[in-house]
Amino acid sequence: MKCIVVTPEKTEVETEAAFVAIPLFDGEYGVAPLHTPMVGRLGAGELRIKIGEETESYYIEGGFVEVSNDVVSILTSRLLRKDALSLADSEEALAAAHAKKAGDPESMAEKFAALRNARARIRVARKWS
């Protein structure tokens, strides 16, 4: 099974994988080889790709996943590698999300999305540290 992760700026990961665990909008979703074709909306969280016996982890935030013909394509707007994610930064992001002003339904939704992302980021950072 092939696994491709692209961000708007570049293709971050392109590899053969034995198993991929994807953070969907409502929880984790596992994809093994020969998975049925699917398209899903991503949430924020940890993306794990098992290559042989090794497992690689990334933090991703939003986007889509498409599985077809034994290829998992992950389109995400943001990807952070292990060395780029720190707990302190994530906590700062959470504080910034809390400080956001929300006067109408739209900005409210925006604020909640930011909070959700920041919390997911902290969770992943804690897990990695």
Partner 1 sequence: MAKARALDKRRKSIQSTRKITRTMELVASAQFRRAMERSLAASAYTERIAALVGDLARAGMKVTHPLLEERPERKSTALLVLTANRGLCGGYNSAILRIAHKRLDELKADGQTVRHMVSGNRGVSYMKYRDIPIDESFNQFDHHPLFEQVNVIAEGLLSSYLAGEIDRVEVVYTRFVSLSKQFATLETLLPLSELADAQNGEAETKKGQVDYEFLPSPESILEEVVPMAFKMKLFKCFLDAAVSEQVARRTAMKAATDNADSMISILTTTYNRARQSQITNEIIEVVSGASAMK
Based on CB atoms, which residue is closest to partner 1, 36 or 129? 36
CB of 53 to partner 1, least distance (A): 28
Structural element, H or E, at residue 6: strand 2-6
Based on CB atoms, which residue is closest to partner 1, 5 or 49? 5
- How far apart are alpha carbons 48 and 7 in whole angstroms? 16
Angle in degrees, CA 44, 77, 128, rounded to 5: 45
Based on CB atoms, which residue is closest to partner 1, 38 or 102? 38
CB of 104 to partner 1, least distance (A): 10
Interface residues toward partner 1, by CB under 8 A: 6-11, 24-26, 29, 36-41, 62-64, 66, 68, 73, 75, 77, 106
Centre a 10 Å sphere on the Cβ of residue 95 and count the other Cβ atoms it contains. 10
CB of 1 to partner 1, least distance (A): 16
Spatial CA neighbour of 57 closest among 45, 65, 43: 45
